Amino acid sequence: NAGVTQTPKFRVLKTGQSMTLLCAQDMNHEYMYWYRQDPGMGLRLIHYSVGEGTTAKGEVPDGYNVSRLKKQNFLLGLESAAPSQTSVYFCASSHSDGGYTFGSGTRLTVV
């Protein structure tokens, strides 16, 4: 099925560990985004990409890195996880027509 796929769906990390979240889309969208959702805060933009090989910082980029080596994939990395990064992470992609497609989310707990 066409859409945005996020892996993993759940993960528990210890403080200081690293991990990578994968986002894959099969709609040939140019733009991709990583958001985090925290209670009472809505969704906040972490990083985004306007095309293969390009990335940029969003509203809350600290502690995260991203890469977009292939158009269909957008990776979010945590080099040294902190409890403050416990959150639900959503990936999204969009085309210039303004439609956005969201993944189902990754629930990350840092202990």
How far from 34 is each of 9, 37, 86, CA to CA, in Å?
A: 14, 10, 15
Q: Per rule CB under 8 A, is residue 16 in the interface with other proteins? A: no
Q: Per rule CB under 8 A, is residue 96 in the interface with other proteins? A: yes
Out of 15, 26, 28, 41, point to the residue binding other proteins (CB under 8 A): 41
- What the block records as the tokens of 38 is 């925290």
Q: Per rule CB under 8 A, is residue 103 in the interface with other proteins? A: yes
- The amino acid occupying position 85 is Q
Can you tell me the distance from the alpha carbon of 51 to that of 54, in angstroms, rounded to the nearest whole number? 6
Q: Per rule CB under 8 A, is residue 42 in the interface with other proteins? A: yes
Whether the CB-CB separation of 62 and 84 falls below 8 Å is answered with: no
Q: Shortest approach of other proteins to residue 9 CB, angstroms?
A: 10
Q: Per rule CB under 8 A, is residue 74 in the interface with other proteins? A: no
Q: Per rule CB under 8 A, is residue 89 in the interface with other proteins? A: no
CA angle 36, 100, 89 (to 5 degrees): 15
Number of residues near other proteins (by CB under 8 A)? 28
- What the block records as the tokens of 41 is 């805060």
Binding site for other proteins (CB under 8 A): 29-31, 33, 35, 40-45, 48, 50, 56, 58, 90, 92, 94-100, 102-105
